[in-house]
Structure 1
Amino acid sequence: MVSLEFSHVYGGYESQSVFEDLNLAFPKGSFIALTGPNGSGKSTLLKFIYKHLKPIDGKVLLEGRNVATINQKELAKHLGFVPQNGKLDYAFTVTEAVSMGRYAYGGQDSGRSVEQALLECDIVHLGDKLVTELSGGELQRVLLARALCQQGKVLLLDEPVNHLDVKHQRSIMELLCRLVEKGYTVICVLHDLLLVQIYSQTTLVLQTGKVVAYGPTETVFTETLLRDVYDIDAHQVYDPTLDRMLWLPTYKGSSQ
């Protein structure tokens, strides 16, 4: 089944059109990675989904409904968004910050979704802590929990592990995979191609608003694609834990 679909979408920004006749269908209950060089249109594509941008022409469909016909509060009940470099500047407690995800429901939480989101993201113990005192990894979990308690089954994330150390990167990515196993559709902008290969099921590679490759992650990456899109040489290595090959950039390294 299709969760999200772009049908003949044209548009971008007033000063620059990014997409021309974009046609895509994202499978339901899958981890979809959006990747490509800087300026390729990854974040812009997300903005069309949550209506920060409107197409000049064409439609973005959420489970068959044109998002243009869905008001923002209703849309928030169907999808959650975790922004790039998200932050909370005011001294809310973690529980208060997560509760903001109930805005679309008038702040009501009869189904205990805030409690469930805290539990899902393993931050119950942080409930009374101020968000201004959190580490980067903890804050990302708070932002994700806020999105989860909106109770939509589509999650949009723009570089959610940016600036996190390796341990917290892995923790967030494994959490997203568990959500996919529970039926969520995760659409995630990622720059780290190793993380894309390890965790995503489907990969979309963009370059200057064009779809360069789209399909199962294990078939998307090739030596030719990495050279043409990223202008890098690459080689494959076998990972015994994953029991599969992964593409890595080829570095000349030190002459020592």
Structure 2
Amino acid sequence: MSALQLINASARLGGRVVLDGVSFEVDAGELVAVVGPNGAGKSSAIRALAGLLPLSAGEARLGGDSVSRLTDRQRAERVAYLPQERRIAWNLPALEVAALGAPFLSGADASAAALKALVEVEADHLAHRGVAEMSGGERARVLLARALATGAQTILADEPIAGLDPDAQLMVLERLHDRARSGQAVLVTLHDLTLAARHADRVVVLAEGRVVADAAPMQAMTPDVMTRVFGLTARWIETSDGPLLSGVRYSDGSGSGVRVESSEL
């Protein structure tokens, strides 16, 4: 049984179609990246699976059950949701913010889960600092820790590396990859195509609310798809570190922290 599924899912926002018959699934132990141009429907797919975007047709499922039939508590127990927005209303210490990810545990157990998650994202030194006194990158780590503290079987992460420096980007993706290897199902939206290719087990390419490709990175992001969807000329090349998506520029000489040559991606 798949951990999460969209089945012929359609949705509208403000009169605009944002999902148009989208179908894909993620199994336990997989990290799947959803990529596509701005407005392709990436965040809408994540929000539909989290139960935050009603569908006009089709179905979203978590653990085989329709999201629309789950209670708020059941959704919270089954899925950890990391939204793209990083607003935190109050200047709480990082430990308390991370503990909000474990609302069904006792106070002591929630704090323990929060501290463990902060250690996991290398932010335990921020445990007692107010989030309003942190940089954007530090807050991003704390919010990731909040999601990891849930212990949910499924993780939905919407642009978790946006605005982070290259080292932090790689750390976040490595932690999510580790969670998938431990048996959780991880679905993440990304703008950086090369990092998606490097870290995802499978890539779902969206364009105009529809699935264009759903396969292993090399099969999903073919030269034809890259041209049709992103307007890029790109190809796969073999390197000593394995296949690499060419047609991108590097932010440093090591090939880490790459960005696609288009601000629209």
TM-score over 0.5 for the pair: yes
Equivalent residue, structure 1, for 2:151: 151
* Structure 1 residue 93: Cα displacement: 0.5
- The normalised TM-score by structure 2 is 0.87
Matching residue's letter, 1:132: A
Hey, what's the Cα distance between the residues in 1 that align with 2:10 and 2:238? Answer: 41
Equivalent residue, structure 2, for 1:202: 202
Contact 2:156–2:188 (Cα < 8 Å) also in 1 = yes
Hey, what's the Cα distance between the residues in 1 that align with 2:244 and 2:164? Answer: 25
**Cα distance per residue 1:42-71 (max 9 Å; x no partner):** 001111111111111222111111111111
Secondary structure of 1:37's counterpart equals: coil
Matching residue's letter, 1:90: W
Matching residue's letter, 2:4: L
**Percent of aligned positions with the same letter in both sequences?**
27
Equivalent residue, structure 1, for 2:54: 54
Hey, what's the Cα distance between the residues in 2 that align with 1:156 and 1:47? Answer: 9
**Cα distance per residue 1:220-242 (max 9 Å; x no partner):** 111111111111212444432x2
Equivalent residue, structure 1, for 2:84: 84
- Segment of structure 1 superposing worse, 15-24 or 186-195: 15-24
Equivalent residue, structure 1, for 2:247: 248
Equivalent residue, structure 1, for 2:101: 101
Hey, what's the Cα distance between the residues in 1 that align with 2:92 and 2:56? Answer: 39
* Structure 1 residue 121: Cα displacement: 2.2
Matching residue's letter, 1:174: E
* Structure 1 residue 135: Cα displacement: 2.7
Query: Which aligned segments of 4 or more residues in structure 1 are displaced greater than 6 angstroms?
Result: none
Hey, what's the Cα distance between the residues in 1 that align with 2:92 and 2:223? Answer: 48
Contact 1:10–1:17 (Cα < 8 Å) also in 2 = yes
Contact 2:222–2:235 (Cα < 8 Å) also in 1 = no
Matching residue's letter, 1:220: A
Equivalent residue, structure 1, for 2:67: 67
Structure 2 gap segments, 5+ residues each: 250-259
- Alignment of 1:6 with 2:6, yes or no, is yes
Q: Within 5 A, what are the aligned runs for 1:222-241?
A: 222-240=222-240
- Alignment of 1:121 with 2:116, yes or no, is no
Contact 2:115–2:127 (Cα < 8 Å) also in 1 = no
Equivalent residue, structure 2, for 1:217: 217
- Segment of structure 1 superposing worse, 194-203 or 15-24: 15-24
**Cα distance per residue 1:85-124 (max 9 Å; x no partner):** 3132421101111111123x17645474223222322322
Contact 2:41–2:208 (Cα < 8 Å) also in 1 = yes
Secondary structure of 1:102's counterpart equals: coil
Hey, what's the Cα distance between the residues in 2 that align with 1:162 and 1:110? Answer: 31
- Segment of structure 1 superposing worse, 127-136 or 112-121: 112-121
Structure 1 residues 96, 69: closer, same or farther in 2, change over 3 A? Answer: same
Contact 1:239–1:246 (Cα < 8 Å) also in 2 = no
Equivalent residue, structure 2, for 1:25: 25
Matching residue's letter, 1:212: V
Matching residue's letter, 2:24: L
Secondary structure of 2:102's counterpart equals: helix
Hey, what's the Cα distance between the residues in 1 that align with 2:45 and 2:75? Answer: 16
- The normalised TM-score by structure 1 is 0.90
Contact 1:102–1:108 (Cα < 8 Å) also in 2 = no
- Kindly tell me the number of residue pairs found equivalent between the two proteins: 250
- Alignment of 1:175 with 2:175, yes or no, is yes
Root-mean-square deviation over aligned CA pairs = 2.1
Hey, what's the Cα distance between the residues in 1 that align with 2:109 and 2:95? Answer: 15
- Alignment of 1:44 with 2:83, yes or no, is no
